């Protein structure tokens, strides 16, 4: 290094400044976070997952309404589950009072609700995703619930259970109004909980579930 030549010192200082600028540029580009993926259209996977989770709460709500109703009419509190279990177990399920068996029946009931929750959440997200559209969602959920009840009870179980198990206990043992109310309570609960499963993109790219304020 020539410390006696001002021009040489200036050139070395300029080189150091250029090198420092290069290092700062490389460092800043290295620290830049990678761009996050964002859906470009209807995010079906997200709503299906949210519906699967929310369907559990809707099933628990409809089951609770049935338990209360059965208690009012002096029936077994889990009579609906006993009748529900006739599909895999046949007529003997109607007299079963084992805690373990009924617990399994409750799990199957809730699992069915979780699968139906996917259908409801997808339908509501596609037809009434707007904030403040609660009434519209309730109407859609009601129509969908009635349709599923009619199709499941009278379109499938009405002939499938007799074919497989020799009896039509679900359709015969569950009064029409009970089946209808059970499905409506499920659908209304999904409509009320819908905003908890709404996808919103934030500035940082993370997804957030909506709150009741969006209802």
Q: Which tens digits make up the pLDDT trace of 81-115?
A: 999 999 888 888 888 887 888 999 999 999 999 99
Within a domain: 74: yes
Say if CB 197 and CB 207 are below 8 A apart. no
> Which of these, 53, 50, 60, lies nearest to 186 by C-alpha position?
60
**pTM of the predicted protein model:** 0.78
Residue 29, token pair as written in the block: 């580009």
Q: Quick one: CA torsion of 97, 163, 176, 118, rounded to 10 degrees?
A: 80
Neighbours of 215 (CB within 10 A): 18
Within a domain: 3: no
Instruction: Judge residue 204's burial from the number of C-beta atoms within 10 Å of its C-beta, 0-12 exposed, 13-18 middle, 19 or more buried.
Output: exposed
Q: What residue numbers bound the domain in which 50 lies?
A: 44-199
Q: Average of pLDDT values for 18-27?
A: 78
Give the H/E segment covering residue 16: helix 6-31
Within a domain: 2: no
Q: Per the structure, how many domains does the chain have? A: 1
Within a domain: 146: yes
d(CA 130, CA 114): 23
Please, which pLDDT band fits residue 212 given cuts at 50, 70 and 90? very low
d(CA 154, CA 189): 24
User: 3-17, 91-105, 128-142, 182-196 — which is least confidently predicted?
Assistant: 3-17
Within a domain: 38: no
Q: Spell out the SS3 assignment of 25-75.
A: HHHHHHHCCCCCCCCCCCCHHHHHHHHHHHHHHHHHHHHHHHHHHHHHCCC
d(CA 46, CA 206): 13
- Would you state the pLDDT for residue 45? 93
Within a domain: 209: no
- Would you state the pLDDT for residue 15? 79
Q: Give just the sign of the alpha carbon dihedral 192, 138, 127, 115.
A: positive
Within a domain: 84: yes
d(CA 149, CA 200): 32
CA 77 from centre of chain: 27
Q: Average of pLDDT values for 22-42?
A: 71
Length of the chain: 215
Within a domain: 11: no
Looking at every residue in the chain, the average pLDDT score rounds to 86
Place of tokens 């200036």: 10
């Amino acid at each position: 290094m020539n410390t006696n030549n001002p021009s040489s010192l200036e050139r070395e200082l300029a080189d150091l400044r250029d090198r420092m600028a290069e290092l700062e540029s490389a460092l800043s580009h290295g620290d830049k976070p990678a761009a996050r993926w964002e859906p470009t259209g209807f995010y079906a996977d997200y709503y299906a997952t949210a519906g699967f989770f929310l369907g559990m709460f809707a099933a628990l709500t409809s089951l609770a309404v049935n338990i209360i109703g059965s208690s009012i009419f002096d029936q077994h509190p889990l009579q609906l589950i006993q009748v529900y279990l006739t599909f895999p177990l046949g007529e003997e399920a109607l007299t079963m009072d084992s805690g373990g068996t009924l617990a399994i029946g409750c799990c199957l009931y809730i699992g069915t609700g979780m699968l139906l929750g996917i259908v409801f959440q997808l339908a509501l997200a596609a037809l009434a995703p707007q904030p403040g559209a609660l009434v519209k969602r309730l109407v859609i959920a009601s129509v969908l619930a009635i349709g599923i009840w009619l199709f499941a009870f009278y379109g499938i179980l009405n002939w499938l259970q007799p074919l497989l198990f020799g009896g039509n206990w679900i359709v015969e043992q569950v009064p029409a109004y009970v089946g209808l109310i059970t499905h409506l309570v499920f659908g209304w609960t999904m409509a009320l909980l819908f905003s908890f499963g709404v996808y919103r993109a934030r500035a940082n790219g993370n997804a957030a579930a909506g709150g009741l304020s969006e209802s």
